């Protein structure tokens, strides 16, 4: 488990990069941190291997405070942590094989051990045929696979990824995310992934924290945060993948609608929860319904349905309708025009 406890970080020059950060990342999790440039994501990530130290507060790994450790203890901790970068950070004058071997050479392993381990890693990241190639001969996705193989070389239990897919096209990004998911499920690594790409959080992560101006402003499971984002910044991110804003032209039409109505954003979790809801509203409650927006997204194997529905009836019937919707366990929010 990785824990940030009341972590603050002030840089020389007066920048407060982290403000009272409290986060717990469970062992085996894939934890995403999202925020715009300058939010403090890299600073946060670099604290896990003590490349940065808190000005106040503490970072713990499995209950051990790491920011006060001396050099030899730190070396021990760092061997247990792999890091993957946006720009791959490969040595251009060394082959793929030699790049992956670097951490093992630093550990003074025998050449037989190194050869066996590097070959195993290249097989795992599906680059066996590129062992003798140089980085300049590789695509971005292949370079990142080398970066990942190198990060895994010393069999760490934690993998830190700093914008690891931000330099890649969408298709290559997907293949790297699949690889990271496989690393989490088959090798059991805890993954901390910082990014400004909400799609990455959606596809890969189990938990997410949203950062703004050095603070964690929202956190939870990806399903919780995506289905009911609370902070304005979180809503902006989520809306890019679940675009539930009504178009302006439709809003203008609704503003002129003189009937008694309410606009509700309904959230369904699970496959069949929306079954017959609208039918029941129409028949049993005699509320007219008009679906203005619908989206169905899969998150961590769960189905998330978001609907924006116009309910048209007398104010009393509309109150009854919202009570009925809530009684079915469906979360709703009023949508303002």
Ligand X SMILES: Nc1ncnc2c1ncn2[C@@H]1O[C@H](COP(=O)(O)OP(=O)(O)OP(=O)(O)O)[C@@H](O)[C@H]1O
The distance of closest approach from Cβ of residue 175 to Mg ion in the complex, given in angstroms and rounded to an integer, is 23
DSSP 8-state code for residue 325? H
The listed partner (ligand X, Mg ion, none) that binds 17, CB under 5 to 8 Å by sort, is ligand X
Continuous H helices in 66-169? 71-79, 96-106, 111-124, 140-152
Beta carbon nearer to ligand X, 12 or 112: 12
The answer to whether the beta carbons of residues 321 and 311 sit under 8 Å apart is: yes
102 contact partners, CB below 8 Å, separation of at least 6:
91, 94, 150, 153
Min dist CB 40 to Mg ion, Å, is: 8
**In the complex, what is the shortest distance from the CB of residue 42 to Mg ion, in angstroms, rounded to a whole number?**
3
By CB under 6 A, residue 37 contacts ligand X = yes
Pick the stretch among 3-11, 40-48, 235-243, 308-316 that binds Mg ion (CB under 5 A): 40-48
User: Is 54 among the residues that bind ligand X (CB under 6 A)?
Assistant: no
310 binds Mg ion (CB under 5 A): no
165 binds ligand X (CB under 6 A): no
Q: Where are the alpha helices (DSSP H) in 33-110?
A: 41-48, 71-79, 96-106
Q: 248: which 2 tokens?
A: 């302006």
Is 14 a residue that touches ligand X (CB under 6 A)? no
SS3 call for 92: coil
Segment interacting with ligand X (CB under 6 A) among 9-17, 145-153, 240-248, 315-323: 9-17
> Applying CB under 6 A, does 49 fall inside the site for ligand X?
no
| Contact of 210 with 201, CB cutoff 8 Å | no
Is residue 13 at the binding interface for ligand X, with CB under 6 A as the rule?
yes
Query: What is the C-alpha to C-alpha distance for residues 18 and 110, in angstroms, rounded to an integer?
Result: 42
* 42 contacts Mg ion (rule: CB under 5 A): yes
Exactly one of 40, 141, 156, 305 binds ligand X (CB under 6 A); that residue is: 40
In angstroms, give the least distance from the CB of 208 to ligand X: 15
CA 201 to mean position of chain CA atoms: 3
């Amino acid at each position: 488990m990785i824990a940030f406890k009341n972590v603050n970080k002030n840089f020389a020059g007066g920048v407060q990069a982290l403000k009272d950060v409290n986060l717990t990342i469970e062992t085996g999790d894939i934890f995403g941190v999202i925020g715009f440039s300058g939010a403090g994501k890299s600073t946060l990530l670099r604290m896990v291997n003590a490349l940065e130290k808190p000005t106040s507060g503490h970072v713990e790994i499995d209950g051990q405070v790491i920011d006060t450790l001396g050099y030899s203890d730190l070396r021990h901790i760092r061997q247990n942590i792999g890091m993957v970068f946006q720009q791959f950070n490969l040595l251009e004058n060394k082959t793929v094989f030699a790049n992956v071997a670097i951490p093992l050479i630093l550990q003074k392993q025998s050449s037989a051990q190194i050869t066996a381990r590097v070959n195993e890693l290249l097989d795992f990241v599906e680059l066996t045929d590129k062992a003798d190639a140089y980085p300049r001969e590789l695509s971005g996705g292949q370079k990142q696979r080398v970066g990942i193989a190198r990060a895994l070389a010393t069999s760490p239990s934690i993998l830190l990824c700093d914008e690891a897919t931000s330099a890649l096209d969408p298709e290559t990004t997907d293949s790297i995310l699949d690889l990271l998911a496989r690393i989490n499920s088959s090798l059991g690594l805890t993954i901390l992934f910082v990014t400004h790409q909400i799609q990455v959080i959606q596809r890969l992560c189990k938990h997410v924290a949203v950062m703004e101006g050095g603070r964690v402003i929202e956190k939870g499971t990806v399903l919780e945060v995506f289905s009911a984002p609370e902070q304005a910044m979180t809503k902006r991110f989520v809306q890019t993948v679940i675009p539930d804003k009504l178009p302006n032209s439709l809003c203008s039409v609704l503003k002129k609608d003189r009937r008694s109505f309410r606009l509700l954003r309904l959230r369904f979790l699970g496959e069949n929860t929306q079954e017959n809801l609208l039918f029941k509203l129409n028949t049993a409650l005699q509320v007219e319904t008009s679906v203005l927006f619908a989206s169905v997204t899969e998150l961590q194997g769960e189905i998330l349905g978001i609907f924006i529905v116009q309910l048209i009836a007398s104010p009393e019937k509309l109150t009854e309708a919202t009570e009925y919707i809530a009684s079915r366990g469906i979360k709703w929010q009023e949508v303002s025009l």
